[in-house]
Amino acid sequence: MTEHEKAVAAGEGVKWAWPAVHPEGRKFALISAAVVAAFWVIGWTFISWLFVGLTIWILAFFRDPIRSVPQDPNAIVAPADGMVTLIQTVMPPKEISGGDGLAEEPVVRVSIFMSVFDVHINRSPIAGIVRKIEYIPGKFLNADLDKASEDNERQHFLVERADGVKIGFTQIAGLVARRIVPFSKVGDTVTAGERVGLIRFGSRVDVYFPKGTAPKVALGQRCVAGETILGVIGDSAAAVAITQ
pLDDT tens, position by position, for the chain (244 residues)?
556 666 555 566 778 788 888 888 888 899 999 999 998 889 888 889 999 999 998 898 889 999 999 999 999 999 999 999 999 999 999 999 988 899 899 999 999 999 888 998 999 999 999 999 999 886 655 555 555 556 678 899 999 999 999 999 999 886 655 578 889 999 999 999 999 998 876 688 999 999 999 999 999 999 999 999 999 999 988 888 888 7
Whether residue 20 is contained in a domain is answered as: yes
Last residue in a domain, options 36, 64, 92: 64
Contact 166, 93 (CB under 8 A): no
Q: What is the CATH number of the domain that holds 197?
A: 2.70.70
Whether residue 206 is found in the same domain as residue 86:
yes
Annotated active-site positions, please? 203
Does a cis peptide bond (omega within 30 degrees of 0) precede residue 201? yes
Whether residue 134 is found in the same domain as residue 210:
yes
Which range marks the domain in which residue 37 is found? 3-64
Whether residue 244 is contained in a domain is answered as: no
Whether residue 241 is contained in a domain is answered as: no
Which residues of the chain form beta strands (DSSP E)?
A: 20-21, 63-64, 75-77, 82-90, 107-114, 121-123, 128-136, 154-160, 166-173, 179-182, 189-190, 195-200, 203-208, 222-223, 229-232
**Where do the H-state alpha helices sit in the chain?**
3-9, 23-41, 45-61, 148-151
pTM for the full model?
Answer: 0.85
Whether residue 58 is found in the same domain as residue 82:
no
Whether residue 201 is found in the same domain as residue 94:
yes
What is the domain count for the chain? 2
Whether residue 239 is contained in a domain is answered as: no
Q: What is the pLDDT of residue 13?
A: 73
Q: What is the pLDDT of residue 164?
A: 93
Whether residue 69 is contained in a domain is answered as: no
Last residue in a domain, options 14, 45, 64: 64
Q: What is the pLDDT of residue 152?
A: 72
Q: Which amino acid, one-letter code, is at 72?
A: D
